Chains A and B, each alone.
Chain A
Amino acid sequence: MSARLGNWAARHGHAFISTLGHLSRHALATSLTVIAISLALALPLALGLLVNNVRGLGGTLDESLGLSVYLKPGMSESQARALATQVRAQPGVGSVSLISAAQGLALLRTESGFGAALGSLTDNPLPNVLEVHPAAFAATPQRLEALRARLAALSSVDAVQLDRDWALRFNAILAVAREALLVSAGLIAAGVIAVIGNTIRLEIQGRWAEIEVTKLVGGSNAFVRRPFLYAGVLYGGLAGLLGFGIVLLARIALSDPVAALSAAYGGQFALQGPGPRELGLLVGAGALLGWLGAAVAASRQLARIEPRAA
């Protein structure tokens, strides 16, 4: 059993090494094919990273997804506090924080630069405000709208403003981008299968004499197909590796400008990935697509030499 396994391994090792040798003897053609496929594979990875990074940016936005509840003027702070407790008990509410009229005025004084002008006010014109953040499960447009309506119906509430519109639009754009990513990944996968299939088809035609002789001396289809399947896997796998390298380089090239941009907005945003997971994914996907393309091409070509009784 172990001898048979050793024989099997030796045979596949032999096929793999001889395929590697064959590809390296045709280094230029091999590189061109690998580069073409790697660019195709790099595209969805780059798009995926873009979506992921932008979504990471949006992660901080979820916190701003909330409602500002303006209470009726003239309400005392202790009344407002009682109302906050009441709102906190509402279903779908995650957290409630009270910004009292006095706090609001103080904030306005220190941060707006209108300190002197505000100093001349005798009364505080600001209302008490409750900042309401929905619970995670309630962060959908419909539920937020229901919550808004419920809060607006409270007698001591003057107005409720939903700070969600642009966040929701942003999420919708992200969802579209994700869909586009899936569609383009599917199209590119089909393209990679076609490119590798065609490359393998040409290789099979170039080595047709060898295949005929091999078949004639008793080589099975599996035996004849083996080096071509390895070639397909190598094309795809190497292209995946190169594609990952391309995206990594692009990220490195972009990280400084992005950091500068982020700093200009006072943010601390840094590009994330690609990591080992993306590397494995791209190499694995490339190898699988290469195998598929080669298998399709080889099966079609080899069917041509089966004997027929015409």
Chain B
Amino acid sequence: MIRFERVSKRYPNGREALSELSFEVPGGEMLFLTGRSGAGKSTVLKLIALLERASRGEVWVNGQNTAQLAARRIPQFRRGIGVVFQDHRLLRDRPVFDNVALPLVAADISFREIDRRVRAALDQVGLLGRERALPLELSVGEQQRVGIARAIVGKPPLLIADEPTGNLDATLASEVLDLFARFSAVGVTVMIATHDLALVRSSGRRELRLEGGTLAAATAPTTMGAQPATTALAGAASAGSSPPPPPADDRLPRDIATLVNPAVR
């Protein structure tokens, strides 16, 4: 689903944000991207969403080499990626419905279909009935869930999130992670950039840790089945869900081997 091959990114100001970064994320996996500020997390997400292009190396997303994507194809490409932000970036002067509908309106989908799909997305994040509310009338946790509904309303196969729990307390944060786990369980690839190491550890998912623009370490998933999320998703996951990966202990060495590209110095 995502493949970075010796990717370097140098910004116009000369700062090298990534150097020779390589990793691969198979479809349907949910994983974390960690590292200190400036380690390159945001740059990785920007390269995936094609907000930036790599200076060197190849970024493959959804089976496409992003370097070979013409500018006019970018909108179509981005419709395959749901993006969630720390500050959720909702439009404050528009009601919840309009915010969630934005990707569908931009994709020229008929209004009847938009109505149906927006309600379905709001239902999934537990906000059905709040369509007319303005974002500021909602709690912080609800606002973030509207942001998530907007990210998934177009049914993208890939979801990327930049510090989605950064403004939330522990309870709300784990609720949001549960939501992501549900999407992952139905086959959506989910990549979450975060500072919240406790959350990462408790989730038992794979972690890509960046340091100075390259991969410092990767941990393999641990106790996948033990998450609170998996019980909640039973209903949503009924159709076409991939079974959770087997317990991870025996997979650890192999995972690290695929993660750490031998070419990285």
Contacts and interface: CB of A to CB of B under 8 A. Distances in A.
- Our verdict on whether A and B bind, yes or no, reads yes
Interface of A: 7, 10-11, 14, 209-210, 212-221, 223, 306-310
A220 B105 CA distance: 11
A43 B11 CA distance: 50
A20 to B, nearest CB: 15
B74 to A, nearest CB: 7
A10 B109 CA distance: 11
Nearest to B80: A218
A308 B53 contact: yes
Given A209-B89, A213-B91, A213-B102, A218 B50 contact: no
B78 A307 contact: no
Contacts, number: 68
Contacts of A223: 75, 106, 108
B20 to A, nearest CB: 16
B55 interface: yes
Interface string B86-120: 00010100000000001101111011000000000
B155 interface: no
Given A7-B110, A218-B76, 12 more contacts: A7-B108, A11-B108, A14-B105, A209-B89, A209-B91, A214-B102, A218-B106, A219-B102, A307-B50, A307-B52, A309-B53, A309-B55
B31 to A, nearest CB: 21
Nearest to A210: B91
15 contacts: A10-B110, A209-B91, A210-B91, A217-B83, A217-B106, A217-B150, A218-B154, A219-B75, A219-B102, A219-B106, A220-B72, A220-B75, A221-B75, A309-B55, A310-B55
Contacts of A308: 12, 52-53
Which of B89, B106, B111, B150 has the most C-beta atoms of chain A within 10 angstroms of its own C-beta? Answer: B106
B71 interface: yes
B75 A218 contact: yes
A23 to B, nearest CB: 14
Contact of B78 (A7, A10, A14, A217): A217
B215 interface: no
The 6 closest A-B pairs by CB, nearest first: A219-B106, A218-B79, A309-B53, A217-B103, A218-B78, A220-B75
B51 interface: yes
B10 interface: yes
B106 A214 contact: yes
A209 B91 CA distance: 8
Contacts of B210: none
Given A218-B103, A310-B55, A213 B89 contact: yes
Contacts of A213: 89, 91, 102
B18 to A, nearest CB: 12
B183 to A, nearest CB: 16
B33 interface: no
A215 B50 CA distance: 11
B54 interface: yes
B49 interface: yes
A220 B11 CA distance: 25
Nearest to A6: B110
Contacts of B150: 217
Contact of A218 (B51, B54, B107, B110): B107
Contacts of A220: 72, 75, 106
Given A218-B76, A218-B79, A308-B53, A10 B111 contact: yes
B10 A310 contact: yes
B245 to A, nearest CB: 30
Contact of A217 (B10, B12, B102, B108): B102
Which of A209, A217, A308, A310 has the most C-beta atoms of chain B within 10 angstroms of its own C-beta? Answer: A217
Given A210-B91, A216-B83, A309 B54 contact: yes
A14 B108 CA distance: 12
Contacts of B89: 209, 212-213
Nearest to B109: A7
A162 B75 CA distance: 75
Nearest to B94: A210
Given A218-B75, A218-B154, A220-B75, A310 B106 contact: no
Nearest to B90: A213
B50 to A, nearest CB: 5
Contacts of B51: 216, 307
B46 to A, nearest CB: 8
Contacts of B79: 217-218
B256 to A, nearest CB: 30
A10 B114 CA distance: 13
B55 A306 contact: no
A278 B110 CA distance: 40
B11 A310 contact: yes
B195 to A, nearest CB: 22
B208 to A, nearest CB: 22
A219 B10 CA distance: 27
A307 B74 contact: yes
Contacts of B72: 220
